[in-house]
Structure 1
Amino acid sequence: MRRLFLVALPMLALAACQAPSQAPASRSVVFFTNDSAALDENAAGLVSEVAGRAKASPGAPIRVRGFTAPDGSAGFNRALAEARARNVADVLVAAGIERSRIRIEPRGPVSYEMIPTESRRVEILLGG
């Protein structure tokens, strides 16, 4: 029993010295009008708020996921999802976030959620 304690004690000390695990991701959602990648005033304000949180967590990665509603052609929806995500990423960069921290993930069309406008969105995941 004593031998087990002597082995476990250094392991516990080593674990205590290691860096804490990364905080879970925070998720913010920006909504768009139909067939548009333009950010309105509210959306731009939300992205600016996310930029402020990102500056407070300089090592945290940022994922920007673009979505569209299922209407229209697959090609149009893929391009629109990417344009939405890129526009959000551009606002983050303009607010002082390094582009190298941002990963753009166009997801394309998704089926309608509870409210059709929920499908026309960009999710910003900070950290995690």
Structure 2
Amino acid sequence: MRRRAFAILPVALVAACAADPRELVGQPPRMVFFEADSTELDEPARAVLANAARLARRHPDVPVQVLGFAGPAGGAAFNQALSRRRADYVAEQLVAAGVPRARITVTGRGPVAFDAVPVESRRVEVIIGYP
């Protein structure tokens, strides 16, 4: 009879190997906001992206969606392009933080009206896992 060898790993090491994908269920998208006609991120937005990148690295088998939005002012064609540039910039930041580019899907959703607070239209959403 052949014996099989096995190792007992410390719990912390096992946890670092693969995270439970159930932690992603019901997670809201991570959102970063932009000034009008801008693709620049402030420090709080960079912190949100760093957090999103850590979560994405903990779940190496799930996709990452980056959705860009723009406000309604300035015309549809301009805002479509701006939303894509914002999403591309956020995707670049995630890649720089260690998320493989092959896992990231980037979409510019274009202009959206948001009645309450205009800045909420000027955003990028990062969705980790399956929506």
* TM-score for both structures, normalised by structure 2: 0.78
Map 1:67-86; keep pairs closer than 5 Å: 67-86=69-88
Name the counterpart of 1:60.
62
SS in 2 for 1:53: helix
Q: Which amino acid aligns with 2:117?
A: I
State whether structure 2 residue 38 is matched by structure 1 residue 40. Answer: no
**Structure 1 residue 83: Cα displacement:** 0.6
**Structure 1 residue 41: Cα displacement:** 1.4
Higher RCO (C-alpha under 8 Å, 6+ residues apart) = 1
- Note if contact 2:21-2:59 (Cα within 8 Å) is conserved in structure 1: no
**Structure 1 residue 105: Cα displacement:** 1.0
Distance 1:55 1:25 in 2: 18
Q: Which amino acid aligns with 2:97?
A: A
Which segment is superposed worse, 33-42 or 94-103?
33-42
Q: Which amino acid aligns with 2:25?
A: P
- Note if contact 2:72-2:112 (Cα within 8 Å) is conserved in structure 1: yes
Sequence identity (%)? 43
Q: How many residues align?
A: 109
- Note if contact 2:69-2:110 (Cα within 8 Å) is conserved in structure 1: yes
Larger Rg: 1
**Structure 1 residue 49: Cα displacement:** 0.6
- Note if contact 1:25-1:127 (Cα within 8 Å) is conserved in structure 2: no
SS in 2 for 1:63: strand
User: Which structure features the higher share of helix residues?
Assistant: 1
Question: Residue 87 and residue 116 in structure 1: after superposition, are their counterparts in 2 closer, same or farther (change >3 A)?
Answer: same
- Note if contact 1:25-1:125 (Cα within 8 Å) is conserved in structure 2: no
Q: Which amino acid aligns with 1:100?
A: A
Which segment is superposed worse, 89-98 or 113-122?
113-122
